[in-house]
Amino acid sequence: MAIGFHHTKEKTLLRVSFYVAGLFVFIALGFAFITHSAAILFDGAYSLIAFFMSLLTLKVANLVQLPDDDRFHFGYTAIEPTLNLFKSIVIIATCLYAVVGAIGSLTNGGIKAEYGYAIIYGVIATTACFAVSGYMKYQSKPLRSDLVAVEVHTWFVDGVLSASILLGFATAYGIEQTRFAEYASFIDPVLLIILGLAILPVPFKIMLDSLKEVINKAPPESVTAVIEKRLKQTLIAVPYQHVEVRISKSGRDIYLLVHIIVDKSFSVATISELDDIRIASETAMRQWDPAIIMDILFIANPALAD
């Protein structure tokens, strides 16, 4: 089974994410200690999760490049959506925990933070997170890696989180200079609630997409229709009644089980002629999309394709 492509560049990008996430843990936790801000502490916790998830992602990136063996007959690519599913659940749990904690802080009178230092953190974190996300997205364009795609989303969400923190603390700093200064302490927990709820749709989408792959659900009709059309173009010289295609996506691989219900006029002299058809079809499909892996069966009885 052919596994992956551009794996060296993929690992390089994942290492960048890993090392920068580790740096951000120290920066965020340091500023959280200085500013006494729960929102920055949450951002630090998010970075800590990203750090450990990046470590796991690097391990999985190595595994998915391995060929199939006696333990994993279809290779290791199924680990990819499983990891993404796990990562999304952890992020969702972190967001919900932060929201609950922020609600508790609100009922206790809010949180007084050092907004000047918090603004400095917001500028640094926002710039860095969007820079990493943009760099990884640009560099990963030729790749077909769900692992890198999830990292790009993670850094983008962290950038939105940091930008919101920056905006909120700038607002709180301004309020402190007015006669409404007593309300500034509510900005931090309110901001944390808004952020925690606002970023939930991203990990929820990743969770649902990954779950579909884990349970082996077929890709959307818009995707399968294009694949089937391309496949039939590679079989134009083969007399057939019908082509039945079953499609599943597991990580970076798209698996096609193809039943060709041959016409009565179809005949071959040797098995090698069938192999030639298979090779020509799969080569054409993989030139179009290198992620495709195919098994082709030739049958005369349509019932065998059910």
Contact 136, 151 (CB under 8 A): yes
| pLDDT digit string, tens, across residues 130-181 | 999 999 888 887 776 777 887 888 788 778 778 877 887 888 788 877 887 7
Instruction: For the chain, give the percent of residues with pLDDT over 70.
Output: 92
Q: Do the domain assignments include residue 236?
A: yes
Judgement on whether residues 157 and 67 belong to the same structural domain of the protein:
yes
Count of beta carbons in the 10 Å neighbourhood of residue 295: 12
SS3 percent helix, strand, coil of the chain, rounded to 5, is 70, 10, 25
Please identify which residue in the block is written with the tokens 């890993």: 18
Higher pLDDT residue, 153 or 6?
A: 153
Dist CA 105 CA 44 (whole Å): 18
Q: What is the mean pLDDT of the chain?
A: 81
Contact 153, 199 (CB under 8 A): no
Q: Which of 183, 198, 214 is the last residue of a domain?
A: 214
Give the tokens for residue 303. Answer: 């019932």
**Residue length of the chain:** 306
Judgement on whether residues 178 and 276 belong to the same structural domain of the protein:
no
Dist CA 104 CA 174 (whole Å): 25
Q: Do the domain assignments include residue 162?
A: yes
Of 229, 267, 266, 274, the C-alpha closest to 247 is 229
Contact 114, 177 (CB under 8 A): no
Q: Do the domain assignments include residue 289?
A: yes
> Is the pLDDT at 75 greater than 70, yes or no?
no
Judgement on whether residues 255 and 206 belong to the same structural domain of the protein:
no
Split into its structural domains, the chain has a count of 2
Contact 282, 295 (CB under 8 A): no
| pLDDT digit string, tens, across residues 86-139 | 888 888 887 888 788 778 877 877 667 677 888 898 899 899 999 999 998 888
Dist CA 191 CA 186 (whole Å): 8
CA-to-CA dists, residue 29 to 32, 40, 173, 222, 229, angstroms: 5, 7, 21, 45, 53
Domain carrying residue 121: 7-214
pTM value is 0.68
Contact 295, 256 (CB under 8 A): yes
